Structure 1
Amino acid sequence: MKQVHVEQIQKVIEAVKGKDIENIFFVACGGSMAALSFGDYFVTKDTDMPSFVYTSNEFIHRAPKALGEKSLVILKSHTGTTPETVGAATYARSKSALTVAISMDVESPLCQEAEFTVHYNYKDGSDAIDCEIGIYYTLLFKLLNLITGEEKYLRGVDQLSKLGELIERNQAKHKDVADAFGKKNKREKIIYTMASGAYIHHAYSFTSCLLMEMLWVNSNAIHSGEYFHGPFEITDYDVPFLMVVGEGPSTPLDQRALDFVTKYSENVEVVNVKEFDYTGVDEDLKEYFGPALAGPVLRLYADGLAEHTGHPLSVRRYMWKMEY
């Protein structure tokens, strides 16, 4: 990891040590919110620290009473220009919270507004450890170590050096099946996604940011644990599902949903995180690395749809084209 990133993350850790933090807020929009949500998942799973996820504008308007000088607010925007997230940083600072911006642009409005910045490199040939996933996971592992004192998170930081290689291996493993998924589903008007645990955030991001935003395919992210409480009634032989079977305590929820959906639908695509290549990752860290690998793998399925529909992922109807 580049020294500048090491120093940025260490400044955040030292600030947290000096603030007697009592709760954490993860605040962003869209795919950035989904990415931050992995932090909330592991903080609430592994610690007794209260943690919350907010979409930026609701964070401002709901004005949570728990927000104050003993709060850590982590905000993320890829470009650092998302107005709602910049506004959320302003609001958090007005409540004396410790604010940390995660972005690719240190000169962006968000990074200028937040007290601390954790910058990541983007499309500059950097190793994965210096890019979005590696930077965020390094910060997350160090925060978890600070809160719990458990050494496994420091092993996690060390093993992030293997992240780039693991992403490449797992993408290579799924490239052909993702392309076949795109070819098979190129004329589908609706594709449901399903997951649970940490991976429900991937289902949300794939649904909202890739299928709906980028590909204009109708979709809904279904939590595996909620599938039997309404959504399973839409299941039929020709209804397409993309299902993530996760690595972690929620796997039984996924398996139960998978057993049913494959019985009644003939178009179920499964991404089984347990079958990922985890070479060099300790057994007790696989559930943390699974979400870091699932995002790049799932992106291939969107690429497959884009290739076979002739609809580039860069095309937008409204976003960035008009006032909204």
Structure 2
Amino acid sequence: MINFDEKSMLANGAYIYDQRGHMEAIADQICKEGFDNIFFTSSGGSIAMMNPFVDIINEMSDIPVYSIISADLLLTGHNQLRKNSVAFLASKSGDTKETMEAARYLKERGVRMISVIGKEHSPLEEISDHSVIYKDGRPQELIMYLLIGRILYNKGFFPDYPKFADELKELPAVLVSVRKAADEKAKKYAETYYKEPYNIWVASGNLWPVCYAYAMCVLEESQWIRTKSVSSPEFFHGTLELVEKDVCATLLITEGKTRPLDLRVKGFLEQYTDKFTYFDCAEYAYPGISDEFRWMLSPVVMNAVLQRISKNIEVVTNHSLDIRRYYRTVNY
């Protein structure tokens, strides 16, 4: 397998899981202090990483939860944001411009901030009330599963959280096995479709943020491949008219409640394009994870699958995932 270091992946996962006590202490303090609602705000792939947890909170509780891109928050505000709100932010660099401006905006209004950050001693860590630093640790979602899961447990909405959290110790190994199982299909996909002039990517529910982020942050930003992302329910209200026999379409299928929406798209695309591929979370084994938690893990499992497309496609295109024309390269 290209660019695959199993030992490192397991160590990186363990680095995050070993901070479980720290993350649970943060959640416990937030719950002890009390809060009215939860906000997620950041930019680009960082807010997309957090957005599946909006679905989890909505599905499992009656806690009011909102997601807003930082640049929007700065211009529009939000009428549900108040001093007793709690905000989650994320930034790999810890200094993303719009995210930092949003953090200052929240600080001025007395909103407590919990930040997920890739680097120590960053401006975002300095301004936040609580931070989890993951360095090379992956997946970042593991942090959110423990933080959000513990909050839901403390509020009485997730009594099985202790079992779930214990089983999450196996998540790094699960994702290694998923990557191995997905690699052949991902490699073939990269080799077959890397030159397509137009691509449609579709998903729903807790996989919609994954689809959106992959289309934008990897295919568009990192590979300069023209891509349209659309949610499964919205696919039938416009995008379906662009499907022809030679149009490349890719579907991500969740194990969450919106799975029937994905299967409806699958049935349509199988009829009307010869360039259709789907990746289904249900096809992968999750050793050590109970079946009742599988739906919650669809985002992180699908990201592991898509990573194998990324690692293969940068070799096929001879275009490193680190190359940018404009992002953090020119002023805009």
Query: Which TM-score applies when normalising by structure 1?
Result: 0.94
**1:221 Cα deviation after fit:** 1.1
Q: Answer whether contact 1:196 1:223 (CA < 8 A) is retained.
A: yes
Question: What residue is the counterpart of 1:76 in the other structure?
Answer: 90
2:167 corresponding residue in structure 1: 159
Residue 56 of structure 1 corresponds to: 70
Is 1:111 the counterpart of 2:125? The answer is yes
* Alignment partner of 1:120 out of 134, 137, 145: 134
Unaligned stretches of 5+ residues in structure 2: 1-13
Aligned position for 2:301: 293
Partner of 2:244, secondary structure, is coil
Deviations 1:114-162 (A, max 9, x none): 111112131xxx6x5xx52322221121122123343222211111110
**How many angstroms apart in 1 are the aligned matches of 2:38 and 2:31?**
13
Aligned AA (2:78)? P
**Unpaired segments of 5 or more residues in structure 1?**
none
Spell out, residue by residue over 1:194-249, the C-alpha distance to the aligned partner (whole angstroms, 9 max, x if none): 00010001110111000100000111111111111111000111111111011011
What does residue 244 of structure 2 align with?
Answer: 236
After superposition, residues 209-224 of structure 1 pair within 5 angstroms as 209-224=217-232
Instruction: Judge which range, 299-308 or 188-197, deviates more.
Output: 299-308
Aligned to 1:86: 100
Decide whether the 8 Å contact of 1:5 with 1:119 is kept in 2. no
Instruction: Tell me what 1:10 maps to.
Output: 24
- Name the counterpart of 1:66: 80
Give the Cα–Cα distance (whole angstroms) in 1 for the partners of residues 154 and 28 of structure 2: 10
Match among 268, 273, 277 for residue 269 of structure 1: 277
Q: Against the structure 1 CA distance between its residues 275 and 4, is the aligned structure 2 distance closer, same or farther, given a 3 Å change threshold?
A: closer
> 2: CA distance between counterparts of 1:6 and 1:166?
18
Q: Say if 2:28 and 2:151, in contact at 8 Å, map to a contact too.
A: no
1:198 to 189, 194, 206: 206
- Select the residue among 267, 284, 291 that pairs with 1:283: 291
Number of residue-to-residue matches in the alignment: 318
**Cα pair 1:106 1:119 within 8 Å, conserved:** yes
Letter in 2 for 1:241: A
What TM-score does the superposition give when structure 2 sets the normalisation length? Answer: 0.92
Structure 2 CA distance for partners of 1:222 and 1:149, relative to 1, 3 Å: closer
The one-letter code sitting in structure 1 at the alignment partner of 2:48 is A
Structure with the larger RCO, 1 or 2 (CA within 8 Å, 6+ apart):
2
SS of 2:116's partner is: strand
- Residue 319 of structure 2 is aligned to residue 311 of structure 1: yes
Matching residue's letter, 1:101:
S
Structure 1 residues 76-115: Cα deviation after superposition (integer angstroms, max 9, x where no partner): 0011110111111111121111111110223011111111
Q: CA deviation at 1:10?
A: 3.1
Tell me which residue corresponds to 1:186.
Answer: 194
Q: Does 1:225 align with 2:225?
A: no
Q: Are the counterparts in 1 of residues 20 and 146 from structure 2 also a CA contact under 8 Å?
A: no
Counterpart residue number, 1:142: 150
Q: Distance in 2 between matches of 1:238 and 1:151?
A: 49
Cα distance in 2 for partners of 1:154, 1:121 equals: 26
Q: Which amino acid aligns with 1:207?
A: A
Q: Secondary structure at the match of 1:99?
A: strand
Contact map agreement 2:40 2:51 (CA 8 A) in 1? yes
* Alignment match, 1:99: 113
Are 1:31 and 2:39 matched, yes or no?
A: no
Q: Distance in 2 between matches of 1:13 and 1:135?
A: 11
Give the corresponding residue for 2:3: none
Equivalent-residue separation in structure 2 for 1:42 and 1:133 (angstroms): 12
**Amino acid across the alignment from 1:154:** P
